[in-house]
Amino acid sequence: MKGFPSVLENINDLNLMQIQALLSLTTEYKKKDIDLVESFYEGFKTPVVATSFLENSTRTKHSFAIAIQKLGGMYIDFNAETSSLKKGETLEETLLTLKHQGVDCCIIRTSVSNELAQFKGNHPLKIINGGDGTNQHPTQALLDLFTMVENHGDLKGKTMAIIGDCVHSRVTHSLVELLPQFGMNLILCGPEGYIPESIDSKNVSLCDNRDEAISKSDFLYLLRIQKERHTGKEDQHFATYHEKYGCSLDVLGKLNKEISVYHPGPANIGVEISADLIKSPLYQGYKQVENSTYMRMAIIAAILSNRNISCQLELNGDDARIKKGPTGL
C-alpha cells in the first residue's frame, strides 16, 4: 500500500485503500477505545502533536486535542494569535520552529484557501488540514463518511442532498470529492449564490428547490450560512432562508420523509434547522461529533506511522492495524 501522505491537505491526497483503512481503524478505535491505544505507543517515543487554529473552532480543535491525548501523544495548543505569526513570520518559519522544538505533526486551520498546498512537496513537519478557507475540510468529510457507513451500511446508489451555502463550504468541497467514490449521488441545494452555476460530475447535481431535493434523497446534510465568507449579495437570502430552505419535522413530515439529517456544526437553530428537528432522533450531529474523535485518532496514527518506514498502516481484510516497527516513532 502506498505510504500515507505526510501532508493531508485534500481528500484527493488519499487513495481508496487508505480511506478504507482509515474506516477500519476508526471502527477498531471506537470498539476498543483507550485500551488499544495504550499498547500502541508502548516503548515508543511519545509523539508531539500540535494544533494551530487561526480561525474559530469548537468541534474540530477539541476532538483533535482529545484524539491526540487518547493516542498517548503530547498535545501542544499552539496559540497562533499570540505567536510570532503576528510579528510577520511566515507559516513555514513557524512550522520549522515547531519541528525543531520536537513537534512531529501540526493540525492547522487557516482562513486562507490552499495555504497548505505549498508544503506538499517540502513539508517542515507532518500536517493535517483542519479546514482552509473555503477549500477543504478533509477530516470532517472522513468522519461524516464513517458515520454514514455506520448508519446505512453500503452507500452505493444512495442519494444525499446537501442543503445550504455549498459554494462557501469547505466541508461540501471535501464531501463532493469523497462520497461519489463510495457510489453516492449528491444534490447541492440552495438559493442563487449558494450553489455553483454548473457542475461537471455525473454523481453531483444542482437544485434550487428544497422540497424537490428532499424528495429525491435518502438522507440530508444541512449547512450553516457561511456569513463570514460572503461578499455582500448572498446576504439577500437571510430573511426568507428558513421558510424556503430550512428543515423542520413539519417540512419532512409533509414530504413523508423520516430520514437522517447530518450537520457538521455549528448549527444555527431557526435558520437551516428547526429546534424540533435538532432535538429529534433524526438528527445525527451528535453522533458525528462522537465519531470525530475516533476518526481523528485514526488519521493521526496513520500520518505519524508513516514517519517510520517500518511502522506502516496495513490493510488486512476488514481489519486495519498499525504495525509497530522496532525503531518506534
Residues forming contacts to ligand NCD in the complex (CB under 6 A) are 59-60, 131, 137, 140, 170-171, 224, 226, 264-265
CB atoms under 10 Å from CB of 78, counted, come to: 19
The grid cell for 50 is 500540535
76/162 with CB nearer ligand NCD: 162
> What is the smallest separation between the CB atom of 221 and ligand NCD, expressed in angstroms?
11
The grid cell for 115 is 495555504
| CB-based burial label for 255 (10 Å; 0-12, 13-18, 19+) | middle
193/264 with CB nearer ligand NCD: 264
| H/E element, 189 | strand 185-189
* Strand order across the 261-262 sheet: 204-207, 185-189, 159-163, 219-222, 261-262
**Separation CA 313–CA 44 (nearest Å):** 16
18/226 with CB nearer ligand NCD: 226
> What is the smallest separation between the CB atom of 57 and ligand NCD, expressed in angstroms?
6
Instruction: Indicate the length of the chain as a whole number.
Output: 329
Phi, psi of 152 (to 5 degrees): -120, -5
50/171 with CB nearer ligand NCD: 171
- Secondary structure of 123-171 as H, E, C letters: CCCEEEEEEECCCECHHHHHHHHHHHHHHHCCCCCCEEEEECCCCCCHH
265/328 with CB nearer ligand NCD: 265
> What is the smallest separation between the CB atom of 50 and ligand NCD, expressed in angstroms?
18
> What is the smallest separation between the CB atom of 144 and ligand NCD, expressed in angstroms?
10
172/274 with CB nearer ligand NCD: 172
> What is the smallest separation between the CB atom of 36 and ligand NCD, expressed in angstroms?
26
158/170 with CB nearer ligand NCD: 170
> What is the smallest separation between the CB atom of 275 and ligand NCD, expressed in angstroms?
18
**Separation CA 13–CA 326 (nearest Å):** 28
- What burial letters (b/e) apply to 258-296, b meaning 16+ CB within 10 Å? eebbbbbeebbeebbbbeebbeeebbbbebbbebbbbbb
> What is the smallest separation between the CB atom of 132 and ligand NCD, expressed in angstroms?
9
CB atoms under 10 Å from CB of 251, counted, come to: 18
124/264 with CB nearer ligand NCD: 264
> What is the smallest separation between the CB atom of 148 and ligand NCD, expressed in angstroms?
16
Answer for the pair 296, 139: CB distance below 8 angstroms, yes or no. Answer: yes
